[in-house]
A and B are shown apart, each in its own frame.
Chain A
């Protein structure tokens, strides 16, 4: 009766697992009862802790991005806890939930963690995935938990009047492509020299990859260059046919909207078909050491944009080294990756999240805050050059001023070039043409508001309150 025994074991095991699932879930629900109670009450808190649920991904094709970003984010929060004892005495706490960059796993993680941790209320989520962000916009708006999509996400969520809880901080996809075109114009001797040029956009076959198509078309019409969009299906380990198409097209510049393994493969295949690598401009998700090192010598001369230059020569990284890494409390499995692009983006993300908590505390008191209160903090982030100096992040983070209407707050990038061992910064902050982009963003967000029946917020009215 082997079969019967196995079936008994199997049922016992699954029952045990189910029980564990239920138990550890119920622990996540704060003592106050349902998660909504926490969001509405002012401070129903046992300890003095602010919680960040991390929908991280450390396995799968995007593990390099996930582990670097969440490693940097965690190390920065660790720094605040160790060096400052938290934000004005409120300790930061976090827990991870693996998404593998898969949408439904990210949703499951969100639902699992949104109730807070041991009574510490949720400040914001940072899924670092466009797909997951899209899927949780409605949920987070209903739950009143800010959704931070630094450097990515839905472009029209820049309009905080329609998306009160979504923050594509620092750089949205439209600004990104506009800044790249401005830079190419500069290299060609002025934007009026772009006329007649050919630009190919090689994009990752995902919502993220497609996001900038209309704006590229718009800029192409405005400046008179030709643009061709070429899709690389996820995950992008095979790109022969796309590069043959590029070879036939012979564009002047290529904009690489890659992600993960697609980037080194693109650079290597470019070398194979003989396209000059210094005319490929990697976008914000194609700018890390993890993207170029696997491509070897083929990547020397590769240009990319960044909002978070790599390197350890920033004071804030020295602090992280002193208080966190030297104490053996660093999150990175491979300490050599500290200071890479993904890691420094995590640092930037940490700075912005912590700053939001700090700003919100000036209004709501130095206690653990609800998501709604932290949202106020995000909308009043104002990091100027002075503040950057205090944070030790001059050159690492651009000046950012967020408001109710403008959830992006930045919109500038720096250009870097790979020299075989590191990314050299070859430009200062290049600004996007944000005045040109704003009406398009508002058009899209208004359409969304109409489809979903959302009442547009009255930002001036809220400010007067």
Chain B
């Protein structure tokens, strides 16, 4: 399909066959990572003695450990890390997951994610300011559903058009939403400047207004949605999305209802974006204006997905961490090394150049994204371990 070849970098397409499996438990194709990259039967036969702990128990302990670590993070790190790094990373990662369902799995190019985030944020705000006493999570869900419906609507053109033409249609969503929220005062409860401010955050009477509370709220929303997303893409729906992405005609021939699959991707992906937008507005900034979620943000989410890994659930998390953390780290490194002696404006521009150059380098060396990079590193460690044995 020539039209799709123009959209997808060829390397991505090549690796998509196994690139979607971030989970190393899945059997890998023989071509990839020979020598026990995955948990193949052969590898297990080499090292039977090291498997004294049953696998299920091992993973169970690992999951409990990671969960405990995530939940107790507010006790371990400073407020700065919580409210300036972790919360935005979680929110943008969730938006990235939504974008990835649409773009990475179903293969529909979209630059409307910020619009869907915006719809989610404003819908959440409106429902919580008009319906008093509604639980916070219910208003988040409402925001997500409204965003999903809007996404479904703007996804309709995908039934007829694809590739760059679809980009134009989702671009329309982006401009329309910003215009609507700027123009119609009702959405911002007639605030003079069009800015909405977050209501007090609490769940079941527990006050979540501290930085730790914001983080827990984000975690409470992001983790279950990510698990659901992972199950979605591993199941029937996910397979139909990937079939549409890899070759639509073939998918239709084998009985995938392509139109339904595409609309479902837009609807569910936008739901994720909408909830992410509500998190961004309420748990992170505490405020949002229509222009705060503009085309730049859509591109940022798209970059998160591309950098992190198209067609992967872990990818957006790695990508969001990179996009948020790296400029901050670069900035701090720059001011620690040469701060004071160099014009701060010049330093900023140099940092931008370094960031851009590193992104290009990364995409050349690892077009499948950073999740893939981590996956390869993981395989190497395991191979090294098995050699030790």
Whether A452 contacts B200 by the Cβ 8 Å rule is yes
* Chain B residues numbered 283-303 whose CB sits less than 8 Å from any CB in chain A: 284-287, 289, 291-292
- Complex Cα spacing A369 to B259, Å: 65
B226 CB–A CB distance under 8 Å:
no
- Give the residue of B78, B79, B285, B325 whose beta carbon is less than 8 angstroms from that of A104: B285
Segment of B1-9, B60-68, B231-239, B327-335 engaged in the interface with chain A: B327-335
Q: Which residues of A contact B331 (CB under 8 A)?
A: 97-98
A108 B329 Cβ-Cβ under 8 A: no
Cα A234 to Cα B290 with chains together (Å):
12
Do B380 and A24 have beta carbons less than 8 Å apart? no
Q: Does A321 contact B (CB under 8 A)?
A: no
Once the chains are docked, how many angstroms separate the CA of A205 from the CA of B210? 32
Bound Cα distance A3, B377 (Å): 11
Q: What CA separation (Å) do A53 and B291 show in the bound complex?
A: 26
Q: Is the CB of A108 within 8 A of B182?
A: no
Mark out the residues of chain A between 4 and 45 whose CB falls within 8 Å of any chain B CB in the assembled complex: 4, 6-7, 10-11, 14, 17-18, 20-22, 24-26, 29, 34-35
Q: Does A451 contact B (CB under 8 A)?
A: yes
- Taking a contact as CB atoms under 8 Å apart, the answer to whether B192 and A211 are in contact is yes
A103 and B325 alpha carbons, distance in the complex (Å): 16
Say yes or no: A234-B192 contact (C-beta < 8 A), given A56-B344, A104-B285, A138-B286.
Answer: no
B330 neighbours in A (Cβ, 8 Å): 17
**Among B80, B325, B339, B373, which residue has its beta carbon within 8 angstroms of that of A18?**
B325
Least CB distance from B374 to A in Å reads 9
How far, in angstroms, from A333 to B342 measured CA to CA in the complex? 11
A391 located at the interface, meaning its Cβ lies under 8 Å from any Cβ of chain B in the complex: no
Give the distance to chain A from B190, nearest Cβ to Cβ, in Å.
9
Q: Please state if B329 and A17 are interface contacts (CB–CB under 8 Å).
A: yes
Check: A231 CB closer than 8 A to any chain B CB.
yes
Partner of A205 from B284, B291, B373 at Cβ < 8 Å: B291
Cβ of A46 within 8 Å of any chain B Cβ, yes or no, is no
Interface string of B108-134 (1 = CB under 8 A from A): 000000000000000000000100000
Identify B333's interface contact among A11, A20, A115, CB under 8 A. A20
Cβ contact within 8 Å between B349 and A210: no
Distance (whole angstroms) from the CB of B372 to the closest CB of chain A: 10
Given contacts A21-B332, A108-B328, A206-B289, contact A451 B193 (CB under 8 A): no
Minimum CB distance partner of A103 in chain B: B292
B346 to chain A, nearest CB (A): 9
CA distance A292 to B94 in the complex (A): 44
Whether A111 lies near B326 (C-beta < 8 A) is: no
Binary flags per residue of A237-250, CB closer than 8 Å to B gives 1, else 0? 00000000000000
Known: A17-B326, A35-B79, A108-B328. A11 touches B377 (CB 8 A): yes
Contact partners of A139 in chain B: CB under 8 A: 83, 286
Asked whether, in the complex, the Cβ of B289 is within 8 Å of the Cβ of A207, the reply is yes
B289 touches A131 (CB 8 A): yes
Contacts of A162 in B (CB 8 A): none
Whether A207 lies near B194 (C-beta < 8 A) is yes
The answer on a CB contact under 8 Å between B345 and A155 is: no
> Cα distance A155–B331 when bound, in Å?
33
Nearest residue (CB) in A for B337 is A20
Instruction: Tell which of A3, A111, A205, A214 touches B80, judged by Cβ atoms closer than 8 Å.
Output: A111
B288 to chain A, nearest CB (A): 9
Flag if A17 contacts B285 (CB, 8 Å): no
Contact indicator A107/B285 (Cβ below 8 Å):
yes
Asked if A444 lies at the interface with its beta carbon under 8 angstroms from chain B, I say yes
B85, B292, B333, B348: the one contacting A98 at CB < 8 Å is: B348
Check A67 for interface membership: any CB of B closer than 8 A: yes
A313 within 8 A of B: no
Q: Which residue of B lies closest to A234 (CB)?
A: B291
Contact A21 B328 (CB under 8 A): yes
Quick one: given A25-B78, A111-B84, are A134 and B195 in contact (CB under 8 Å)?
yes
Which of A10, A115, A444 is most buried by chain B, counting CB atoms within 10 A of its CB? A10
Shortest distance in angstroms between A39's beta carbon and chain B's nearest beta carbon?
A: 13
Known: A14-B329, A20-B336. 17 other contacts (CB 8 A): A3-B365, A6-B366, A7-B365, A26-B78, A35-B79, A58-B343, A59-B345, A59-B352, A63-B345, A103-B292, A108-B85, A111-B83, A112-B80, A112-B84, A210-B182, A210-B192, A231-B182
5 contacts between A and B (CB under 8 A): A7-B376, A20-B333, A34-B79, A59-B345, A451-B199
A residues at B contact (CB < 8 Å): 2-4, 6-7, 10-11, 14, 17-18, 20-22, 24-26, 29, 34-35, 56, 58-59, 63, 67, 95-98, 100, 103-104, 107-108, 111-112, 115, 130-131, 134-135, 137-139, 142, 154-155, 205-208, 210-214, 231, 234, 333, 444, 448, 451-453
Taking Cβ atoms with an 8 Å cutoff, the residues of B that contact A are 78-81, 83-85, 88, 129, 182, 192-195, 197-200, 209, 284-287, 289, 291-292, 322, 325-326, 328-333, 335-336, 339, 343-345, 348-349, 352, 361-362, 365-366, 373, 376-377, 380
